[in-house]
Structure 1
Amino acid sequence: MTPALINLAAEASEKQSAEVTDWAARLGWVAGLLLFVALVYWLMRQGWKWRGELQSGLPALPTAPEHAGEAKLKLSGRYHGSTTAGQWLDRIVAHGLGTRSRVELTLTDAGLDVVRPGATDFFIPAAALRGARLDKGIAGKVLAEGGLLVVTWAHGDKQLDSGFRSDHAAEHAAWLEAIDTVNSTNTTDTTEGAAR
Structure 2
Amino acid sequence: MTRQTVTILVLAGLLVLALVGMRVGWVHRRRRTLDAVPTLPAVPTDAGALLAGPFEAVYVSTTREGDWLDRVAAHGLGVRSPARVSVHATGVHVARTGAPDVFVPAHALRAAALAPGIAGKVVGRDHLVVLTWEPAAQPGDEPDGARGLDTGLLPRHAADRDAIVAAALTLIPDVPAAVSGTEEKP
Structure 1-normalised TM-score?
A: 0.79
Identify the residue that residue 3 of structure 1 maps to in structure 2. none
Q: CA deviation at 1:37?
A: 1.1
Q: Which residue of 1 aligns with 2:125?
A: 145
Within 5 Å, which residues of 2 pair with 1:3-42? 24-42=2-20
Hey, what's the Cα distance between the residues in 2 that align with 1:140 and 1:77? 14
Higher relative contact order (CA 8 A, sep 6+): 2
Is 2:39 the counterpart of 1:60? yes
Listed one character per residue, the Cα deviations across residues 130-153 of structure 1 (whole Å, up to 9, x for unaligned) are 111111111122113112111111
Unaligned runs of 5+ in 1: 1-22, 188-196
Displacement of 1:166 = 0.7
C-alpha displacement of 1:70: 2.1
Q: Where does residue 71 of structure 2 map in the other structure?
A: 91
- Contact 2:52 / 2:164 at 8 angstroms: preserved in 1? yes
Deviation at residue 186 of structure 1 after TM alignment: 8.9
**For the residues of structure 2 that align with 1:117 and 1:175, how far apart are their CA atoms?**
19
Q: Give per-residue Cα distances to partners, 1:21-44, cap 9 Å, x unaligned.
A: xx7111111111111111111111
Classify the secondary structure of the residue corresponding to 1:38.
Answer: helix
The ranges of structure 1 where at least 4 consecutive aligned residues each deviate by more than 4 angstroms after the TM superposition are none
**Match of 2:160?**
171
Aligned to 1:190: none
Greater fraction helix: 1
- Find out whether 1:70 has 2:59 as its counterpart: no
SS of the residue corresponding to residue 167 of structure 2 reads helix
| Aligned residues of 2:61 and 2:151 also touching (Cα < 8 A) | yes
Counterparts of 1:163 and 1:26, CA distance in 2 = 46
**Structure 1 residues 13-65: Cα deviation after superposition (integer angstroms, max 9, x where no partner):** xxxxxxxxxx7111111111111111111111111101111122322111221
2:172 matches 1:183? yes
What does residue 87 of structure 2 align with? 107
Deviation at 1:173, TM superposition (A): 1.1
- What RMSD over aligned residues (CA atoms) do the two structures have, in Å? 1.7
Q: Which one has a bigger Cα radius of gyration?
A: 1
Matched with 1:193 is: none
In 2, Cα distance between the equivalents of 1:97 and 1:127? 20
User: How many angstroms does 1:82 deviate by?
Assistant: 0.4
Residues 74-127 of structure 1: CA distance to partner in whole angstroms, max 9, x if unpaired? 111100100011111111001110011011111010111111111011211110
- Identity of matched residues, %: 36
